[in-house]
Amino acid sequence: MSHRFFLLGLALLLSVMLSGCSNYSASHEYYKARPEAKLEIPPGLDRPVERLDMTLPKAADGTATYSSYSGDCKQDPSTLNMVAQKDLSVVREGDFIWLHANTNPEQLWGAARSFLKKKGFGIARDDDDLGILESDWFEYQEDGHSLRDKYRLRFEYGKTAGSSEIYLSLRGERLSDGEWQPRETDVELEIEMLKRLARYLGDSEVEFSEVPTAETEVALHDRGKKGGLSLVINHGFDDAWRRTLRAIEESGNHIEERSINQRFLIARFEDKSEAAKARRSSWMGSVLIPSEKHAEGRFRIEFFIRGENSTEVQIQNLQGKATSSERAKRVISELEQALSE
């Protein structure tokens, strides 16, 4: 009898084990994966055709350098005229620069993406809904220092029908004590890259115009819990909108949604406090920090027209209510400083 119970128990145990294996294989697709035959590459297609303007410059030892990188940007790219001429011009207002084109942003999007790729940059962000193209980081050495750069292109509809504006921003960092630290922006290199982009888009003789610098005055208003925090800027809505977006981007933050018609945007602001840096650097902190999608620091920014040359920019929570939280105070202070520079 005991022998019979032993065999019955063994049969039940094997049944449970086999059932568990079956469920495991059914719920993990990679468990069923099998190596496939290696693809055959047709003769003559085993190496892509290379062009001079498709690669980043390298030093003799194979290390990228800033001098060759910036020098490449300043060469006259006679081979870049691939799109019909668009009557483009580079406009500068102090350190505020943009590319004006007499055509819609949609007609320039694909060519601008191709420009970054042909320059050797990977694409980190390709969001045609937001009108933002962003390259991967490009690391190089200069005077024994490790540096890296990334470019961002932001497309806006122009003030006149059928026109567009492209804003290019360069973000540079230096490796110091094992951490990447922000560097001062090279405005002249930004201008050269815009000119090069214009040539690529088809305008062989890019016009360059400089408009008088309009000083930006910013006043911080704290109306308490109900009224929240806001900035009053001495520009009309169009200029205040463009300057605020630029200030957010150049501070290393991220625009996630925007509507110029409804006059609001949603952005994710990095927590730059010392406590946040320490938390991110620790193993436990890196595990407990929430994903970027659910991270703190996401705010809604709404614009209110107060006059021909006055716009109020209010910081809100994601539900559209005014906020004066400690995090919101740090964000609005950072934005005030960026707009005033």
Pick the last residue of a domain from 184, 210, 236. 210
Q: How high is the pLDDT of residue 211? A: 77
Contacts of 106 (CB under 8 A, 6+ apart): 128
Query: Cα(101)–Cα(68) distance, rounded to whole angstroms?
Result: 29
277 and 188 both lie in a single domain: no
203 and 243 both lie in a single domain: no
Q: How high is the pLDDT of residue 37? A: 36
* Number of structural domains the chain divides into: 2
233 and 173 both lie in a single domain: no
Residue 32 counted as domain residue: no
What are the φ/ψ torsions at residue 289 (nearest 5 degrees)?
-65, 130
Residue 7 counted as domain residue: no
165 and 231 both lie in a single domain: no
Residue 226 counted as domain residue: yes
Contact status, residue 81 vs residue 146, Cβ threshold 8 Å:
no
CATH number at residue 256: 3.30.310.170
Residue 113 counted as domain residue: yes
Query: Cα(90)–Cα(198) distance, rounded to whole angstroms?
Result: 8
The pTM of the whole model exceeds 0.95: no
Q: How high is the pLDDT of residue 313? A: 96
90 and 157 both lie in a single domain: yes
Residue 4 counted as domain residue: no
201 and 224 both lie in a single domain: no
Residue 118 counted as domain residue: yes
139 and 108 both lie in a single domain: yes
222 and 265 both lie in a single domain: yes
pLDDT tens, per residue, the chain with 341 residues: 555 555 555 565 555 454 444 443 333 232 233 333 333 434 433 333 333 233 333 343 444 544 444 455 444 433 334 444 457 888 888 778 889 888 888 889 999 999 999 888 999 999 988 899 999 998 989 889 999 999 999 999 888 888 899 999 888 999 998 889 988 888 888 888 888 898 888 766 677 777 777 888 999 999 887 789 999 999 999 889 989 998 998 888 889 999 988 999 999 998 766 555 555 455 555 555 444 444 578 999 999 999 999 999 999 999 999 999 999 999 999 999 999 87
232 and 328 both lie in a single domain: yes
Pick the last residue of a domain from 210, 235, 264. 210
Q: What is the DSSP string of 239-273?
A: HHHHHHHHHHHHTT-EEEEEETTTTEEEEE----S
DSSP label at residue 296: S
206 and 297 both lie in a single domain: no
Residue 27 counted as domain residue: no
Contact status, residue 269 vs residue 299, Cβ threshold 8 Å:
yes
Cite the beta strand spans of the chain per DSSP E. 88-93, 96-101, 123-127, 132-135, 138-142, 145-157, 164-176, 179-182, 207-210, 218-222, 229-233, 254-259, 264-268, 298-307, 310-316
162 and 118 both lie in a single domain: yes
CATH number at residue 103: 3.30.310.80
Identify the domain containing residue 335 by its residue range. Answer: 218-340
What are the φ/ψ torsions at residue 84 (nearest 5 degrees)?
-55, 145
Contact status, residue 195 vs residue 209, Cβ threshold 8 Å:
no
81 and 179 both lie in a single domain: yes
Q: How high is the pLDDT of residue 49? A: 34
Pick the last residue of a domain from 210, 230, 258. 210
